[in-house]
Amino acid sequence: MSVFTININLKAQTRPQIPIKAVEPEGALSKKSKKAGKEGMISTDCVQGCRDFPPEDMRIRNFLFNSFRRVATSMGFEEYDAPVLESEELYIRKGGEEITQQMFNFVTKGGHRVALRPEMTPSLARLVLAKGKALSLPVKWYAIPQCWRYETITRGRRREHYQWNMDILGVKSVAAEAELITALCTCMQQLGLSSKDVGIKINSRKVLQTVLQTAGVPDESFAAVCVVVDKLEKVTREEMVVMLQEIGLEPKTIETILSTLSLRSIAEIAAVIGETHPAVEELVTCFKLIQAYGFGDWVLFDASVVRGLAYYTGIVFEGFDRAGKFRAICGGGRYDNLLSTYGASQAIPAAGFGFGDCVIMELLEDKKLIPPLPRAVDDVVIAFDESMRENAITVLQKLRQQGRVADIVMDKKKIGQAFGYADQRGAERAILIAPDEWVKGLVQVKMLRQGEGKTENKDTGEKGAPVPLDKL
């Protein structure tokens, strides 16, 4: 394993001052909001572009996040986290990235310019740099952060979202990209999707960079071109030409770029930049490794994929649904120079991806792949009356110590209402603590989830059968 030294000096870096935009309410108030204002009640609407997660929606979110964690840990990745509030300076990079105009940024009472994180990779860079010599490479880390961007709300894009991030640092070869793409395919496969439903487009930023260098375009224009090219599926060819002209590209160069983006095989790219070009060799190797993982039918080459973030340096990839109903599912690539821009004394090879929660959930809903996720309650304990409450609590604790999910009817209710509560909670059993049975060391157990005969006890066949305490 290798170690590296770092020299953090963020203050020494120059950066443009980004104006702080006031966030104004957009659109007409909802009927609920208007009514709330008239009656002196608070609005029940959450902030525009954000989401509430009541328990039924939280179960769905956990279903997705559990899939993320299961895949990541099975592949040897470790989970990390960082504050949602970061220094604004962390996100100011060269290249004219749109992200700098989409930040929720403000000045604190102490005069510090901060922002809600729009993405996780800069926070990862900060954490890695802070570790310094204590961190041995390679590193395989993952996180599921909440990210914020002030942008137009469209299908599959909100102003806040959660994003599964996986990153590998310290690996120079495309083995890192192959491992990451395999993680994406594995997760989607476990969610019930197949290669007929989704695919991963793969390209290399080095292809477009070589084309631009050959055409005489200065290196400082490369990132800006990538930001424009990343909009290829969202704008017309004519609009793309206008945007590239605004960067300062000549018509002949623009035509070369657009013709290169239309190439759909590595062989065609090799014919343009040469079979021995590093980009071609890396792409060939990457596809071979993914084939070895068993996901060859999930991936394809697409020269139009460049990703909009300026820090990508090599192979880039993007998940998509083959029916074309949704925007990109996920994306990532290699970013070997990012940590150097933040003060690392030497370049640290790195690759990673971001996989948002919004589009994948829409796709799973469209494919009807979200399983039933009922409340997970095993037992509801019912005290016959208040004189039995302490005994009921004793039983409740016994069940919980066994690892069962147990609830208790806390208010005084009629027995019928109490059983109704247990049924509404989705409990497997309702356990009644009554005086006559209690003195005999028994409780009444009513089975609530036994198909046609819901209330039938598995052991005795009776309804609400007495069961010894030590057999619960």
pLDDT for position 276: 94
Confidence of residue 22 (pLDDT cuts 50, 70, 90): very low
How much is the CA Rg of the chain, to the nearest whole Å?
28
* Element housing 365 (H / E): helix 357-366
| Residue pLDDT, tens place only, 92-125 | 753 345 667 788 888 999 999 999 999 999 999 9
pLDDT for position 453: 39
Could you tell me the two tokens for 126?
């900060």
Flag whether pLDDT at 309 surpasses 80.
no
Confidence of residue 461 (pLDDT cuts 50, 70, 90): very low
Q: CATH 3.40.50.800 spans which residues of the chain?
A: 379-471
Instruction: Please give the average per-residue pLDDT across 293-317, as a whole number.
Output: 91
Sheet holding 85-87, edge to edge: 85-87, 113-116, 104-107
* Cis peptide bond prior to 138, omega within 30° of 0: yes
Does 378 or 16 have the greater pLDDT score?
378
Does 339 or 169 have the greater pLDDT score?
169
Least confident of 232-236, 271-275, 365-369, 459-463: 459-463
* Element housing 258 (H / E): helix 251-261
The C-alpha atoms of residue 60 and residue 294 are separated, in whole angstroms, by 29
Could you tell me the two tokens for 279?
């980009």
pLDDT for position 264: 85
Tell how strand 442-447 and strand 465-468 pair up. Answer: antiparallel
| Contact assessment for residue 89 and residue 122, using Cβ atoms and an 8 Å cutoff | no
Could you tell me the two tokens for 404?
């069962």
| Contact assessment for residue 379 and residue 399, using Cβ atoms and an 8 Å cutoff | yes
% of the chain residues with pLDDT over 70:
87
DSSP per-residue codes, 390-425: HHHHHHHHHHHHTT--EEE--S---HHHHHHHHHHT
The C-alpha atoms of residue 23 and residue 1 are separated, in whole angstroms, by 48
pLDDT for position 345: 78
Give exposure, 177-186, as e/b (b: 16+ Cβ within 10 Å): bbbbbbbbbb
The average confidence (pLDDT) of the chain is 86
pLDDT for position 39: 67
Q: CATH 3.30.930.10 spans which residues of the chain?
A: 51-68+152-366
Instruction: Please give the average per-residue pLDDT across 64-90, as a whole number.
Output: 96
Cβ–Cβ contacts within 10 Å for residue 152, how many?
9
| Residue pLDDT, tens place only, 28-59 | 445 555 555 556 788 888 888 889 899 999 99
Amino acid at site 375: R
pLDDT for position 35: 53
Flag whether pLDDT at 456 surpasses 50.
no
Flag whether pLDDT at 25 surpasses 70.
no
Least confident of 34-38, 98-102, 158-162, 341-345: 34-38
- Second-level CATH architecture of 379-471: 3-Layer(aba) Sandwich (3.40)
pLDDT for position 1: 44
Tell me 456's DSSP state.
B
| Contact assessment for residue 214 and residue 206, using Cβ atoms and an 8 Å cutoff | no
Least confident of 196-210, 231-245, 250-264, 439-453: 439-453
pLDDT for position 223: 80
DSSP per-residue codes, 270-290: HHHH-TTSHHHHHHHHHHHHH
The residue written with tokens 């029940």 in the block is 44
pLDDT for position 431: 97
Instruction: Please give the average per-residue pLDDT across 141-161, as a whole number.
Output: 86
Tell how strand 146-148 and strand 160-169 pair up. Answer: antiparallel
Taking domain 51-68+152-366, whether its CATH number is 3.40.50.10800 is answered by no
| Contact assessment for residue 431 and residue 380, using Cβ atoms and an 8 Å cutoff | yes
Least confident of 22-31, 212-221, 250-259, 459-468: 22-31
Flag whether pLDDT at 232 surpasses 90.
no
pLDDT for position 449: 84
Instruction: Please give the average per-residue pLDDT across 134-155, as a whole number.
Output: 89
Does 15 or 341 have the greater pLDDT score?
341
Instruction: Please give the average per-residue pLDDT across 309-328, as a whole number.
Output: 91
Side-chain-side CA neighbours of 365 within 13 Å: the count stands at 12
- Full-prediction pTM beyond 0.85? no
The C-alpha atoms of residue 360 and residue 320 are separated, in whole angstroms, by 10
| Contact assessment for residue 381 and residue 396, using Cβ atoms and an 8 Å cutoff | yes
Least confident of 241-255, 412-426, 440-454: 440-454
CA-closest candidate to residue 261, choices 219, 228, 229: 229
Least confident of 11-15, 275-279, 463-467: 11-15
**Residues making up the chain, counted from first to last:** 472
Task: Give whole-number Cα distances, 234 to 118, 230, 322, 327, in Å.
Answer: 21, 9, 17, 9
Could you tell me the two tokens for 114?
């901060």
The residue written with tokens 């356990």 in the block is 431
Instruction: Please give the average per-residue pLDDT across 341-352, as a whole number.
Output: 87
